[in-house]
Amino acid sequence: MADRSVLVTGGNRGIGRAIAEAFVAAGDKVAVTYRSGELPDGVLGVTCDVTDTAAVEAAFAEAEAAHGPVEIVVANAGITKDTLLLRMSEEDFTSVLDTNLTGAFRVAKRASKSMLRQRKGRIIFISSVVGLLGSPGQVNYAASKAGLVGMARSMARELGSRNITANVVAPGFIETAMTAELTEDRQKEILASVPLTRYGQVEEIAGVCVFLAGPDASYITGAVIPVDGGLGMGH
């Protein structure tokens, strides 16, 4: 299982960083895309903005020159621009879609090129419970995260005969910078709706990604795996 070529987008902080660290701990060769900040130990950092197709291509070229064809890709990079529908500008909507959905498309499309040649691959999208349940003030974000489900399932159908799986991880509320920004009232409200009565930890998302990339998940594709403390009750 070890020594595989893995690429994680947005691996400099939060959930992506924990995912990168988990693959490093599993003994894999891990490339991490980043735009800023510091990288975890043991990874190859490649600068990349996922809204830029040429930058995605260059990041894969650099990662593959160092580690060989990418076998496992985790499309994790994401942003929020929350506001109520009537106040949401078209730019608020399209920029979130461009990063979270089209960005993941750019990354998965480029990854599939290497995977098709190798006749194996694991594509993992980091979605959100919000994509499945909806959330006030997050029309743009929820649309982008729901879009990942249809995209992954289409890829699962298109690439399955080549031994490539495409799955979605849907985190609930995870303790990161993104959740730290929420007001105290909103935090209380959220925790009241989580059966496990706590936030998730980034390692709990990372572990599921390592599982989906591993031999025990070889017959899982097109799945949405909720890691949300029961918030969505399996959706």
Residues annotated catalytic, as ranges: 141
Evaluated on CA atoms 224, 229, 234, 235, the torsion sign reads negative
Considering only 140, 167, 176, 221, the residue that binds ligand NDP (CB under 6 A) is 176
Q: Give the binding range for ligand NDP (CB under 6 A) out of 33-41, 58-66, 156-164, 207-215.
A: 33-41
Distance (Å, whole) CA 56 – CA 107: 6
Report the site for ligand NDP in 77-116 (rule: CB under 6 A): 77-79, 99, 103
The SS3 assignment for 109 reads helix
Distance (Å, whole) CA 219 – CA 133: 27
Q: Give the binding range for ligand NDP (CB under 6 A) out of 5-13, 108-116, 148-156, 216-224.
A: 5-13
User: Is residue 124 within the footprint of ligand NDP (CB under 6 A)?
Assistant: no
Instruction: Please say which residue, 103 or 121, places its beta carbon nearer to ligand NDP.
Output: 103
The SS3 assignment for 73 reads strand
User: Is residue 23 within the footprint of ligand NDP (CB under 6 A)?
Assistant: no
Instruction: Please say which residue, 19 or 115, places its beta carbon nearer to ligand NDP.
Output: 19
Q: Give the binding range for ligand NDP (CB under 6 A) out of 48-56, 62-70, 107-115, 150-158.
A: 48-56
Q: List the alpha helices (DSSP H) in 34-174.
A: 53-67, 90-97, 103-118, 129-133, 139-159
Considering only 51, 53, 135, 163, the residue that binds ligand NDP (CB under 6 A) is 51
Here the tokens at position 199 are: 């936030």
Here the tokens at position 33 are: 């895309």
- 219 by Cβ neighbours in 10 Å (0-12 / 13-18 / 19+) ranks as exposed
User: Is residue 134 within the footprint of ligand NDP (CB under 6 A)?
Assistant: no
Select from 41, 37, 36, 45 the least CA-distant residue to 8.
45
User: Is residue 140 within the footprint of ligand NDP (CB under 6 A)?
Assistant: no
- Residues near ligand NDP (CB under 6 A) are 9-10, 12-16, 33-37, 48-51, 76-79, 99, 103, 126, 128, 171, 173-174, 176-179
